[in-house]
Structure 1
């Protein structure tokens, strides 16, 4: 079950497979299994009980549609999943956890894996931009400020600016921490005291997640930190797409996508379709980010609606970001640069420090990506 044809297929990003409803709900089972193992490692339950729990979870058939329907009754999907597991055999299931622990941790697994794919695509995109920057370090063209011709620059300086933003976005995403959640009913780990902190640490180890040692049930900054970094990457590629669209306009025509889109009504057109799609995906992201920042108002020890608003929103934000980056890569891959056309638009020859600016960005790129 994908969110939509346009989101998941047109975007062509491997990140999408980690963001579906199925992956999120399967993640609940992954977390429950790891939790039973962690509880045994911490001495809260026996190894035999943990083994029974893992066997129960492994044998459980997840019906995504049915669980989704049942989720409404308790306002979250963990409740029907745990109820179904305990109906099979309650031994070792859900030790000391609350629904929020399982959902938040599953979300972190989804986001960690999707972000890894997004970073890979950004790395490939940076490679394309670095090559364009090397090739066109000295290619003169007119710069534009406030939509008007300004003074000469070089196309390599322009692409170096794009590259700089992509490297910064990649760095921000690479530095993210995807945090395990384990706090119990009201964030006090009472049900597994005195083993709570040991379970928290073991659960993080089992799942390969970060453990701050803190409880973040009502502290949603771990979510907004990830969302903001993803949204920044979306904004970075939207800027590139906007420039490509402008420079592809018929009156300018300094750039042309290798595989431009057509028109159903005007066969003469060669639309910068990939850049336009990038802009469309990225344009959705600020609104999604706003919802997540609004959810920082997480009242008392469990959000009443604010927490619930996060589950789909942050996965959709990650998916839209992934699609935008993928389409930007498609736009730049093989892009045709009309250096003659750039030359005809020049109103001067002094490009100032433009080549040197390109060199500085390339030096940074090559330092971080040695050949």
Structure 2
């Protein structure tokens, strides 16, 4: 895909596209039908993959206007095109929300895996930066002004902490399936099991749910039609990533200003130029990362708003707002992950400029030290005034190396 409104969208590939959603919905329906057949409820199964082409999705979308979602139109096509006694059993016992929610979980699982892989690479890049510059003195800045000395290694360790926290948030996600039927009771499936002669209809359907869920590699839980914590948790974890990336991009954009010149983005042909000013070298990667960081929280807030208004046993509109919101959040996070990885791999650290700036501002940077000496009645020491910087950096590096080892 490409998107003029979101430069770099192609880096998300096929994540959460209409075609991938079609494939995911087919996987959910297939897992359920196969489980029904294995339990002896459906007489047979049929193969659904490929029965509906991505080229047909515009027609499916038009039909979805009449039902509020694409599943009824897809089910009609699958039943009409499949051959064999199992064709009529497609979707039996399910409801549209089961298929949509579970398929969205599958799409988001793919996005989470891709982002986690990028985060791991970013941890490696930041470990190298922090370790290489643990002694590189830089002016610490607070509220835009010079504060006290610090090291670029510790600054990179701060970035690293944000990345590790984000990776932890993504790694904690437990992604569930959704199989509940019309109102979360799976009553239709239980009735079908009874009519088909099951000795224990409820137990049989519980086995079908476990079977289909296992096939999809998801977590078995009771139906969660109007308990939307699954999607708010995923959204929040992705926003934790864009927060961490945005913080890095903000620092890089600031420190790459010509009057500061302490960092520079990796150079690439055609990147950072201006349509009229040939001297420009804009920090485009940082700009695009900040774009994602600025828009992601609003997407997550939409998920929380939808969760708060998901009433009865099926949300009336709140549920529908999640689909494009989750798509945009997943794709934008994947694109920002790509840009951040590229930024960190090629980030240029101007350590001489850092040192020169710190030296020129040294009296201001050590004003706090003189104030402490005056208060305590002693003389200021003559060292870099870095306090616990190296110890803090070592703690972060130990955590990062443990993470890299655990995710090897």
Q: Secondary structure at the match of 1:345?
A: helix
Q: How many residues align?
A: 362
Q: CA 1:57–1:19 in structure 2 vs 1: closer, same or farther (change >3 Å)?
A: closer
Aligned partner (choices 309, 313, 320) of residue 325 of structure 2 = 313
Residue number among 255, 258, 262 corresponding to 1:247 in the alignment: 255
Which residues of 2 match residues 43-54 of structure 1 at below 5 A? Answer: 43-46=40-43, 49-50=44-45, 53-54=46-47
Query: What is aligned with 1:72?
Result: 65
Unaligned runs of 5+ in 2: 191-201, 367-383
Call closer, same or farther: CA 1:45–1:310 in 2, change over 3 Å. Answer: same
Q: CA–CA distance in 2 between the matches of 1:263 and 1:3?
A: 22
**1:127 Cα deviation (Å)?**
0.8
- For normalisation by structure 2, the TM-score amounts to 0.85
How far did 1:323 drift? 1.4
Partner of 1:284 in structure 2?
295
SS at 2:141 equivalent: strand
Q: Which residue number corresponds to residue 74 of structure 2?
A: 81
Stretch of structure 1 that moved more, 355-364 or 97-106: 355-364
Q: Give the drift of 1:175.
A: 1.6
User: Do 1:134 and 1:156's aligned partners in 2 also have CA atoms closer than 8 Å?
Assistant: yes
The aligned residue for residue 220 of structure 1 is 228
* CA positional deviation for 1:5: 4.3
1:12–1:326 contact (8 Å) kept in structure 2: no
Q: Corresponding residue for 2:241? A: 233
Q: 1:305 to 1:236 in 2, by over 3 A?
A: same
- Corresponding position of 2:346: 334
Contact 1:42 1:202 in 2 (8 A): no
Determine if contact 1:3/1:20 at 8 Å carries over to the other structure. no
Give TM-score, length-normalised by structure 1: 0.93
Q: Does the CA contact (< 8 Å) of 1:182 and 1:215 recur in 2? A: yes
1:249 partner SS: coil
Q: Does 1:369 align with 2:404?
A: yes
Structure 1, residues 169-194: CA drift from partner, whole Å, max 9, x if none? 11111121111110001111001112
Matches within 5 A, 1:33-48: 33-46=30-43
Q: 2:183 aligns with which of 154, 174, 186?
A: 186
CA RMSD of aligned residues (A): 1.7
Deviations 1:253-309 (A, max 9, x none): 100112161222222222111011110122111111111111011110111110011
Corresponding position of 1:345: 357
Gaps of 5+ in 1: none
For residue 332 of structure 1, report the CA deviation from its aligned partner.
1.9
Deviation at 1:57, TM superposition (A): 4.9
CA distance in 2, matches of 1:185, 1:198: 18
Q: 1:262, 1:60 → 2: CA distance?
A: 44
2:314 to 294, 302, 323: 302
Task: From 143, 152, 169, give the equivalent of 1:146.
Answer: 143
Structure 1 segments of 4+ aligned residues over 6 angstroms from their partners: none
Choose from 16, 20, 29 the match for 1:19.
Answer: 16
* Higher Cα radius of gyration: 2
Structure 1 counterpart of 2:3: 4
What is the deviation of 1:24? Answer: 0.9
Offset, 1:95: 2.2
In the TM superposition, residue 329 of structure 1 has moved relative to its aligned partner by: 1.7
C-alpha distance in structure 2 between counterparts of 1:6 and 1:39, whole Å: 44
